[in-house]
């Protein structure tokens, strides 16, 4: 007989389900802000990384580096970046040295969009009533969990 109890096989006992449900709820909470910005959640994440790199940029940010940072494959990332380029937020350019390498840069509109995010995100956090200390502890715990899982794969 298996050591797993019947309760351990219930949906509400599954960490993966709790993470999935929480992720969906957070993304739903972000939707009004993202609608104002004209972005989807994955596009927003890509913009966050590009804004971060604007301050502490790799010499020439690449699509590959962005995919690694976001844990996304090129099949997911390419259409996302194509849409950001159509929105005139991002520019992609093939490397002259290596055509397989595609460099990324923010357009003026992409840099300007960053200024809109701060006030919208502050209002989102305020409206949610979330305890920032608990949120920070949760983020730290998830970072630890992600690190442990990555170490196994």
**3-49: pLDDT as tens digits:** 677 888 899 999 999 999 999 998 999 999 999 999 999 999 999 99
Domains present along the chain, CATH in parentheses: 16-152 (1.10.10.10)
Condensed to tens digits (0 to 9), the pLDDT of residues 85-133 reads 999 999 999 988 887 889 999 999 999 999 999 888 888 888 888 888 9
In the block, tokens 């300007």 appear at 112
If pLDDT is split at 50, 70 and 90, which confidence band does 2 have? low
Give the distance from CA 34 to its chain's centroid.
13
Tell me which residue of 91, 85, 87, 84 sits closest to 106, measured CA to CA: 91
> What's the pLDDT score for residue 37?
94
> What's the pLDDT score for residue 3?
62
> What's the pLDDT score for residue 109?
97
Instruction: Fill in the DSSP letter of residue 103.
Output: E
pTM as predicted: 0.87
Contact by Cβ (8 Å): 33, 120: yes
> What's the pLDDT score for residue 72?
95
In the block, tokens 């739903």 appear at 28
What DSSP element (H or E) covers 93?
A: strand 90-94
Left (φ > 0), alpha (ψ -120 to 50) or beta: where does 127 sit? alpha
If pLDDT is split at 50, 70 and 90, which confidence band does 57 have? low
Tokens representing residue 3 in the block: 């050591």
If pLDDT is split at 50, 70 and 90, which confidence band does 1 have? very low
In the block, tokens 């962005």 appear at 66
3-state secondary structure of 64: helix
Condensed to tens digits (0 to 9), the pLDDT of residues 70-82 reads 999 989 999 999 9
Buried/exposed 124-150: b ≥16 CB within 10 Å, e otherwise: beeeeeeeeeeeeeeeeeeeeeeeeee
């Amino acid at each position: 007989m298996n050591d797993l109890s019947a309760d351990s096989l219930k949906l509400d006992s599954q960490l993966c389900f709790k993470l999935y449900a929480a992720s969906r709820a957070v993304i739903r909470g972000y939707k009004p802000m993202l609608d104002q910005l004209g972005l989807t959640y994955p596009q927003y994440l890509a913009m966050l990384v590009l804004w971060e790199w604007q301050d502490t940029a790799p010499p020439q940010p690449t699509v590959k580096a962005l995919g690694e940072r976001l844990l996304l494959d090129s099949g997911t990332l390419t259409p996302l970046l194509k849409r950001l380029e159509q929105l005139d937020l991002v520019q992609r350019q093939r490397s002259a040295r290596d055509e397989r390498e595609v460099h990324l840069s923010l357009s003026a509109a992409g840099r300007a969009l960053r200024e809109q995010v701060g006030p919208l995100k502050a209002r989102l956090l305020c409206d949610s009533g979330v305890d920032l200390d608990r949120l920070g502890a949760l983020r730290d715990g998830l970072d630890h969990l992600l690190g442990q899982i990555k170490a196994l794969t």
